[in-house]
Amino acid sequence: MRSKKVIDRDDYVQKIRAAVDARGDRDFFIVARTDALAAIDLDEAIRRVEAAREAGADASFVEAPTSLDDLETIGRRSPAPNVANMIEGGRTPVLPKQQLVDLGFQLILYPLTALFASARLIESVYRTLKEDGTTKRETQRLMTFAEFNALIGVDEKYALTERFGSEAQGT
CATH T-level topology, domain 9-111: TIM Barrel (3.20.20)
Taking only the tens place, the pLDDT of each residue in 24-45 is 999 999 999 999 999 999 999 9
Q: How far apart are CA 168 and CA 162, in angstroms?
A: 9
Q: How far apart are CA 79 and CA 76, in angstroms?
A: 8
In the chain, the DSSP E strands lie at 31-34, 59-62, 83-85, 107-109
Q: How far apart are CA 57 and CA 18, in angstroms?
A: 10
Taking only the tens place, the pLDDT of each residue in 81-133 is 999 999 999 999 999 999 999 999 999 999 999 999 999 999 999 999 999 99
Q: How far apart are CA 49 and CA 34, in angstroms?
A: 7
For the chain, give every domain's residue range: 9-111, 114-170
Q: How far apart are CA 63 and CA 153, in angstroms?
A: 37
